[in-house]
Amino acid sequence: MPESAPSLTAQPVSAQRATLAGLIAILLWSASVGLFRSIAEQFGPTGGAALIYTLSAICLCLALGLPRPRQLPKRYLFIGGALFVGYEISLALAIGLAHTRAQSLELGMINYLWPSLTVLLALFLNGQRASWLIWPGLALAVAGVAQVLKGDGDWSPALLWANMQDNPIAYGLAFAAALIWALYCNLTRRWSEGKSGVALFFCATAIVLWVMFFITPQPALHFSLPASLQLLFMGLSTAIAYSAWNRGISHGNMTLLATASYFTPVLSALLASLWLGLTPGFGFWQGVVMVVLGSLVCWLATRNR
């Protein structure tokens, strides 16, 4: 932890609880990749995602109140909303369209390029200043994704390209998700005026997914008790995570939460591996660590500027 960051135990009780709430949000978000994949296997990529976001939207509306579009700045409402919907759909479908569970882990890690890309785009969109460290940090994060895709096998650009060509739509969606979320983070900072349209954006995401479900050939939805319980947990955990994160960044130790959030790829990969019954090799974990370190270097490049 940086020396300038107050420790969790040194904070007032209310701040400690807010920080703990933020850490719980990170834990819940880290479980999403494994659950997305498991639910997609039960209901199909589009049907599973539509069910997840419908339940999540209901839970968020109950937790945060009904959306009020007129209270949101127009640019944030329309452009930010479109980016949010695009990100959620891209990530959910990428994981759902993976040919194997192991591939879904790779796609989940590609998504975690977004912290480094957020810092990079901030240089051009928000006038963020950064030291030269941003470039090796970005290179390390990209190299980490390449390592994840390579695994424990031999590496060459041709082999890496062949791996991605095995499922170009899913890999394309995963890369698009990372870029879209980086754009959303930067433009939200400029346009939101401190207001949140998350509940409304989740409703829009659910509507778009149901339209896709009904206008394209999709497998029928067959409900079972285990799948229904997973859906219920996913919906509730999403609402709790967004509410807890809002409390954490508003009243808790923001430096600690920001630092902890950069380790989400490791926790996400670990939880997904346990949930899906996978045992990734050393090469995969090496790539995950490289992504985390690259993101941290990018963050440090801007921290004092």
| Side chain identity at residue 119, one-letter code | V
Q: What is residue 12's predicted lDDT score, i.e. its pLDDT?
A: 59
Phi-psi region of 127 (alpha: psi -120 to 50; beta: other; left: phi over 0): left
Contact assessment for residue 173 and residue 97, using Cβ atoms and an 8 Å cutoff: yes
Nearest to 254 by CA among 3, 18, 13: 18
Q: Over 90: is that where the pLDDT of 299 sits?
A: no
Q: Over 80: is that where the pLDDT of 293 sits?
A: yes
Q: Over 90: is that where the pLDDT of 215 sits?
A: yes
Q: Considering the chain, what percentage of its residues have pLDDT values greater than 90? A: 35
Nearest to 295 by CA among 268, 257, 259, 270: 259
Average pLDDT, the chain: 85
In angstroms, the CA 49 to CA 42 distance is 11
Q: What is residue 2's predicted lDDT score, i.e. its pLDDT?
A: 36
C-alpha count within 13 angstroms, C-beta hemisphere, residue 16: 7
Maximum average pLDDT range among 187-196, 211-220, 239-248: 211-220
Tally the residues of the chain.
305
Q: Over 80: is that where the pLDDT of 259 sits?
A: no
Q: What is residue 1's predicted lDDT score, i.e. its pLDDT?
A: 33
Nearest to 174 by CA among 272, 261, 92: 92
Contact assessment for residue 105 and residue 269, using Cβ atoms and an 8 Å cutoff: yes
Which three-class secondary structure state does DSSP give residue 70? helix
Q: Over 70: is that where the pLDDT of 253 sits?
A: yes
Q: For residue 99, with 0-12 CB atoms within 10 Å meaning exposed, 13-18 middle and 19 or more buried, which class applies?
A: exposed
Q: Over 70: is that where the pLDDT of 305 sits?
A: no
How large is the C-alpha radius of gyration of the chain? Answer: 19
Q: Over 90: is that where the pLDDT of 303 sits?
A: no
For the record, the structure tokens of 243 come out as 């509410």
In angstroms, the CA 296 to CA 290 distance is 10
Q: What is residue 3's predicted lDDT score, i.e. its pLDDT?
A: 37
Contact assessment for residue 80 and residue 180, using Cβ atoms and an 8 Å cutoff: no
Q: What is residue 152's predicted lDDT score, i.e. its pLDDT?
A: 64
Contact assessment for residue 302 and residue 130, using Cβ atoms and an 8 Å cutoff: yes
In angstroms, the CA 89 to CA 82 distance is 11
What DSSP letter does each residue of 180-217 carry, written as one string?
HHHHHHHHHHHHSTT---HHHHHHHHHHHHHHHHHHS-
55-103 per-position pLDDT tens digit = 999 988 887 777 788 889 999 999 999 999 999 999 999 999 999 988 8
Q: Which residue's entry shows tokens 């920080």?
A: 19
7-29 per-position pLDDT tens digit = 444 455 578 888 898 899 889 98
The pLDDT confidence band at residue 155, using thresholds 50, 70 and 90, is low
Q: Find the mean pLDDT for residues 281-289.
A: 88
Q: Over 50: is that where the pLDDT of 301 sits?
A: yes
Q: Find the mean pLDDT for residues 161-179.
A: 88
Q: For residue 275, with 0-12 CB atoms within 10 Å meaning exposed, 13-18 middle and 19 or more buried, which class applies?
A: middle
